[in-house]
Each structure stands twice: as structure tokens, then as C-alpha cells.
Structure 1
């Protein structure tokens, strides 16, 4: 084989690879790839929180249409822990603070030294 045969092979290979790249770009540009929602559309899905459990698994709080879903992902399988959690769900820490304030006030009214 002559050096010209090697050069012809290299140029043909470069040409074929560039054609594949151009076709992939055109396919992605004109919607033959993954479909996205229009930019003007309201986003319905978001990730509220992620908490690692161990090296492989994570707790993920996903928000969809005003409701939240708790998922365990990673490991051998994924698991839905809880669904339809309301976005404005009961806040335990706020309730505890309000209750302790009322309890302290009642103790003072009764004359309890504590």
C-alpha cells in the first residue's frame, strides 16, 4: 500500500465522522431528539430537597402540581415512600413553639413556680 492510500483512508474516515456529527446536530436542532416542554410553559415538576441516606441511596422530595412526593432512589430499586404530601403541610416546629408558649402562659396564670 502506498502513502496515498493511507491518506485517502484518513480523509474518508474524517469525512464520514463529520457527516455523522452534522446529522446528529440537525436531528437534535429540529426535534428528533429528547422533547422538552416549551420555554413559555409553566414548570410542573421540581426537586424540593435531596438528603443522602448512605453511599448509594438518597431521599428525594419531588414537587409536582403543588403536591410533594417522597422517594428513595439509588441502590437496587427505587421506592415511593409517601405521595400526595400537600405543599403547605402541617409544620410541626411552628405548632410546637405556639403550644409551648400557651403552656408557659397557663402555668404562670395558675401560679405554678415552674
Structure 2
């Protein structure tokens, strides 16, 4: 058996394996995720609400898990839970302003002139 035939056989085998892998990837990409499956991604339960640097090593994190917030200080020699069990209530949406009442009168006032100071 010649070396050229052996190299050609190995190259053909590698090409066939790469082609099969490409076909499997394409099938999973186009038909695997949406092919009749209505599964949604789970909702994120943990979020970082706010951070504040205390100094160069320590940072305060306000974390929200479900409807409860936790204040945690990370960094320095130890990590500390500062406060836990803070109940989270969403802020109420501001109501749009309506038209002013009929009895509201906006009076125009004159601005006073510049005061004159005695010259010394």
C-alpha cells in the first residue's frame, strides 16, 4: 500500500466525520429547539439590584431573590450578610397629571429691579 493512498483514505474519513457532525448540528439547530417543543426558559429568580463600593476592597450588593432582598458586603477579610429578609414591594406607577381645576389662577408678578446700594 502506498503512502498517498493511506493519506487519501484518512482525509476522506475525516471529511465524512466532519460532514456528519455538520449535519447533526444543523438538524439540532433548526429542528431540535422549536420542533413541537413549547418549553420556556425558567424565570430568573436572582438579580443584583444595586451595588455600592464601600472602599477599595469591600462592596455592598443588594440582591433580590423572588420577593425578598438581601444586603451583602463582599470583600475584605470576610463576607458579611448585613441585612436579610427585606420585603420588596414594587414602586407604584405615577398617575398622569390631569388638567388644572377651574378655580386655579396663575397670577403674573413683576420681578423687582436691581437694588441700589449707596456708594462709599
TM-score for the superposition, normalised by structure 2: 0.39
Q: Which has the larger radius of gyration?
A: 2
